[in-house]
Structure 1
């Protein structure tokens, strides 16, 4: 059974078996899971949205959408967001996975022209989403829909920051495209820098503010403790994804994985690389626990007796709570989602939920 029971309770007891090589007892003990009470409705509405936006064929949605657990992930990552904000984030997350799959299929089937068309369309849709809501490519139209909705929650200033951050994500995906086509495995440092973009570290951090219902001023958002806590949350998530994805990505001839870079450029054996990735992941957890305390003290200092100070203090505390939620949500997602169950696939290099025709093949 999944670790999230099918109920509207805000906590859940893990019942999912975790392989020893992927087990992190500190997460299971110190980071209790939370589930947004809107989750059952969220799952239903995102499933409907995937159909309406034609991001997956009906038969794929029926067979795989719930088992991929995309809504479970976001309901755990942003457990206190307003319902409409969480719905927009969950649909955007589902879109992001679909985009990642298209990117992968364009590489596997050597479709550079198709990828470049998509890349340029996403850039323009990001800057003028209303004009792309009926784009002929469902992936572009769905992206425009996500952007329009998310832009409605915060300010124009926040929107411009989100757009700047996502333009960089698109370009990072383009670098990944060329690396994979040419078989280039980046060095560890180059990979870590690229991963911060392809995992969209700063997008998910921007969405902390939408979830908290308040845009943070620069001196708060860029405070060293706050920024460090946010980065550690995302580094943990990206590197744990690398650890769990390693069999899938080796099977698919991937070149972007911390473990693969360690093997190629640091001369490590597979077992050594896995141990090193685990070490880095666990350090993220211990460092977060330490900086979390500093960030909460910073939140206390913001409450200076004024209304604005109290609101900022509350917003920072909300953001830190959401950062903490990412650890358990990401951890359990990787052991429940069909996205990582490579051993159950007929072809270890081709996910069963991927439709090549929908991905652009003729």
Structure 2
């Protein structure tokens, strides 16, 4: 198990955070936790990747555990049932594999493959049970994970999740087209696109099955709930940009807050890094304020009725997990082999990806 910087043991962390990426406030005020089912999650998601043939067996063997995909989710959705957290972990692993396929299709000039995959994902999202045996393993794996996620809450939650993920697929298509043409979005355009490609509302939606309750719109859309939810996701996306900037510059990416700041705001690379860091730190400060407001909101929801008690407890759980996202994202970026560009033979080609075209031709 990876060392915990704030565990109850005296074991020191084995992770050295580079000074330019260190956030003392996260290390001090956001204690890290892991779902107790984590060891089984790691093993079962590894087996799921093999069973669904989402990564070649040799790459699963060599890289899956070190990529820490299960650690990221196990540090976020505390309180979820074992079945729910397993479905989320498998879906998350799928998401990373999909992100890599998107990148490889672009790097290797396969726009027709990408277009075909895009349409198939839309179809599988609306009818996952009809796509469980699709010849493209990425589509079949997606259908399997989505069908499981759809089993936990009412159809209204499923429809919302589908609506949000349809938007994510289309945002990935915009990224594909931007990268093919070398178009670097301006800062505000980029930030709006990033909320979709990082799947802000997907990860927020998944707080609800973890809490065992679908939140009504009046609760979910209330600024007291929505504000900390957005801030937790913005932190994650911008911190990811900070950590992945060397990887994305090496890979000729055009989608990174730092790249937009350099291209359109006239900043040097050093100034852009400082600006991303400033935004990240501001996000943390604003979350700490919004968190208190959200917890007061949860208290008000608990009005003495059975339903009020259930909603109050669910919102308290969701807000607690929004907090967990900060530490989980932070340590993931320093433990996962996904960001260790300097250790790769080719800084533009991750060693854990399959460069071959995939799917039915």
Aligned counterparts of 1:64 and 1:257: Cα–Cα separation in 2: 25
Unaligned runs of 5+ in 2: none
**Counterpart contact for 2:105–2:111, Cα < 8 Å:** yes
1:98 aligned partner: 97
- TM-fit CA distance, 1:359: 4.3
- TM-fit CA distance, 1:357: 2.1
Unaligned runs of 5+ in 1: none
- TM-fit CA distance, 1:256: 0.2
Alignment of 1:1-80 (within 5 A): 2-4=2-4, 14-80=13-79
1:325 aligned partner: 324
- TM-fit CA distance, 1:65: 0.2
1:315 aligned partner: 314
Cα RMSD for the two superposed structures: 1.8
**1:126 and 1:301, CA in 2 relative to 1: closer, same or farther beyond 3 A?**
same
Aligned counterparts of 1:355 and 1:55: Cα–Cα separation in 2: 9
CA distances 1:97-124 after superposition (whole Å, capped 9, x unpaired): 0000000000000100000000000000
- TM-fit CA distance, 1:355: 1.1
**Counterpart contact for 1:208–1:319, Cα < 8 Å:** yes
**Counterpart contact for 2:137–2:359, Cα < 8 Å:** no
Aligned counterparts of 2:335 and 2:234: Cα–Cα separation in 1: 21
Aligned counterparts of 1:248 and 1:93: Cα–Cα separation in 2: 21
**Counterpart contact for 1:10–1:35, Cα < 8 Å:** no
2:340 aligned partner: 341
**Counterpart contact for 2:165–2:202, Cα < 8 Å:** yes
CA distances 1:234-281 after superposition (whole Å, capped 9, x unpaired): 000000000000000000000000000000000000000000000000
Aligned counterparts of 2:289 and 2:13: Cα–Cα separation in 1: 25
2:140 aligned partner: 141
1:172 aligned partner: 171
Alignment of 1:114-263 (within 5 A): 114-263=113-262
- TM-fit CA distance, 1:16: 1.0
- TM-fit CA distance, 1:3: 2.9
**Counterpart contact for 1:292–1:320, Cα < 8 Å:** yes
- TM-fit CA distance, 1:361: 11
Q: 3-state DSSP class of the match of 2:54? A: coil
- TM-fit CA distance, 1:80: 1.6
TM-score by length of 1: 0.97
TM-score by length of 2: 0.97
**Counterpart contact for 1:130–1:148, Cα < 8 Å:** yes
Aligned pair count reads 360
- TM-fit CA distance, 1:358: 5.8
